[in-house]
A = this chain, B = another copy of it.
Amino acid sequence: MKKGNTVFFKNKPCIESFSAVCGSKEKEGIIGQYADIALDDDMYGESTYEKAECKMLTTAILQCIEKRGMTEKDVDVLISGDLLNQIISASFAARDYDIPFLGVYSACSTMSESIMLGAMLVNAGYVKRAVAATGSHFASAERQYRYPLELGCTRPPQSQWTVTGAGSCMIGKSGKIKIVSATMGKVCDFGVTDVNNMGAAMAPAAADSIMQHLKDTGTQSDDYDMILTGDLGALGSRIVKDLCWEKGFDISKVHVDCGEIIYKVVENEFQGGSGAGCSATVLNSYVLTKMQAGLYKRILFAATGALLSTVSSGQGESIPCISHVVEMEL
C-alpha cells in the first residue's frame, strides 16, 4: 500500500462535497463565480481580522456539510489548521462543532496535508467521513508576519498577496472524484532567507514532492490533466518547472499554480496570491467544480508550505519548506 513516500488508497476515498468562501479581491478573479460565498466586506461583519478569518473557515466547513445534505453528526472528524499562531482560526472553528478535531500545521500546504490525512483515515475505515479545511486572511497574516496594514509599508516586487478565503472538503466513500494516492512531503531547505520571496523558498519542496510522486507511482507528468501547486507565485512557478526539468521531468505543459491564477491581474499583486487560503479556495471552487463536470480527469494537488516564523527569521534562520501531494481522478 506504500511505495517510496506514497500511500496508495485501495478503497478509493472520494471528495463527497466541497466549499469555498472568498474575499472581495478574490471575488474579482477566477474563483469569484465558483466560490459559494464571495464577500464584499473582508471583515465579514466581525470586529477583528482574526475573527473574520475564523468565521470564513467556520462557514466553509458548514457549507461543505450542508451542500452534501448532512449535519455535523454525519462527520466523524474535522482536520484543520491555519497560519495564525497556535492555529486559532481552526481551533475556534472546531469549537463550534460537536466533531472530534485533529489540529495540523503545514503552513500553506495545510490543505493537502489535511486531505491526505482525511483520505488515510477514511480509506482505513477509521472514520466514515472527514472534513478537511483551511483558510487565511490578508490582514491577519500581514499583521502577524509582516507589518500592520495601518503602517502603510511598501511591498517588494517579489512579494505575494495573502489570499482572504477559506476552503473545505468532505472526504467519504461516495462521489465522482476519487483520491487515489498521496505522497508525504519532506522538509526541504535550500537556504533562502528572504521572507518576501516565498516562491523561491518553496519551489524546491514542491519539485521534490512532485518528482517523488511521479517516481513512486511510475507516472509521467503527461498522465495528469493538471499538476496544481499551491502558492509559488509567478517566480516560484518558473523555478519549480526549471528544477523538475533539470532532473528530467518536464511538468511545464500541465503545471498550474493557484497563486498565479487566483487574481484578475497577477502583476498587480506582484507574484500573485499566497497563504493557506490560496490553494484551499482555488481547489475547492474552480478546480473541483471543473473536475466534477468532467473537464479534468486526473490531477495532482501539491500545495506548498513555508515553515518559518517571525522568530526563526529574526534569529537568522533560513526557510524550511514542505509540500504534500494528493492525486485525484474521476
From B5, B84, B99, B126, A186 is in contact (CB under 8 Å) with B99
Q: List 17 A-B contacts (CB under 8 A).
A: A50-B312, A85-B309, A85-B311, A86-B107, A86-B308, A87-B105, A91-B307, A92-B307, A92-B317, A94-B186, A99-B186, A101-B185, A101-B187, A102-B113, A103-B322, A120-B126, A124-B126
Binary contact readout A179-195 vs B (1 if CB under 8 angstroms, 0 otherwise) = 00000111101000000
Are the C-beta atoms of A86 and B307 separated by less than 8 Å? yes
Question: From residue 68 to 94 of chain A, which have CB atoms closer than 8 A to chain B?
Answer: 76-77, 81, 83-88, 91-92, 94
Q: Which of A48, A86, A311 has the most CB of B within 10 A?
A: A86
So how many copies of this chain end up in the complex?
2
The CA-CA distance from A293 to B229 in the complex, in Å, is: 49
The CA-CA distance from A310 to B47 in the complex, in Å, is: 17
Question: From residue 10 to 63 of chain A, which have CB atoms closer than 8 A to chain B?
Answer: 48, 50-51
Chain B nearest Cβ from A285, distance in angstroms = 25
Q: Which of A7, A102, A184, A187 has the most CB of B within 10 A?
A: A187
Are the C-beta atoms of A84 and B309 separated by less than 8 Å? yes
Question: From residue 144 to 190 of chain A, which have CB atoms closer than 8 A to chain B?
Answer: 144, 184-187, 189
How many chain A residues sit at the interface, stated as a range, is 35 or more
Are the C-beta atoms of B85 and A85 separated by less than 8 Å? yes
A309 contacts across to B, CB distance below 8 A: 84-86, 88
Binary contact readout A105-132 vs B (1 if CB under 8 angstroms, 0 otherwise) = 1110000010001001101111100000
Are the C-beta atoms of A310 and B103 separated by less than 8 Å? no
Please tell me if A238 contacts chain B, counting CB pairs below 8 Å.
no
Q: Which of A7, A91, A126 has the most CB of B within 10 A?
A: A91
A7 contacts across to B, CB distance below 8 A: 126-127
A104 contacts across to B, CB distance below 8 A: 102-105
A84 contacts across to B, CB distance below 8 A: 309, 311
Question: From residue 297 to 330 of chain A, which have CB atoms closer than 8 A to chain B?
Answer: 307-312, 315, 317, 320, 322
Are the C-beta atoms of A105 and B81 separated by less than 8 Å? yes
Please tell me if A2 contacts chain B, counting CB pairs below 8 Å.
yes
The CA-CA distance from A87 to B107 in the complex, in Å, is: 10
Chain B residue with Cβ nearest A311: B50
Chain B nearest Cβ from A181, distance in angstroms = 11
From B76, B83, B98, B105, A2 is in contact (CB under 8 Å) with B76
Chain B residue with Cβ nearest A305: B103
A127 contacts across to B, CB distance below 8 A: 2, 7
Q: Which of A1, A85, A107 has the most CB of B within 10 A?
A: A85
Please tell me if A95 contacts chain B, counting CB pairs below 8 Å.
yes
Are the C-beta atoms of A320 and B94 separated by less than 8 Å? yes
Please tell me if A100 contacts chain B, counting CB pairs below 8 Å.
yes
Chain B residue with Cβ nearest A104: B104
Chain B nearest Cβ from A206, distance in angstroms = 15
A311 contacts across to B, CB distance below 8 A: 50, 84-85, 88, 144
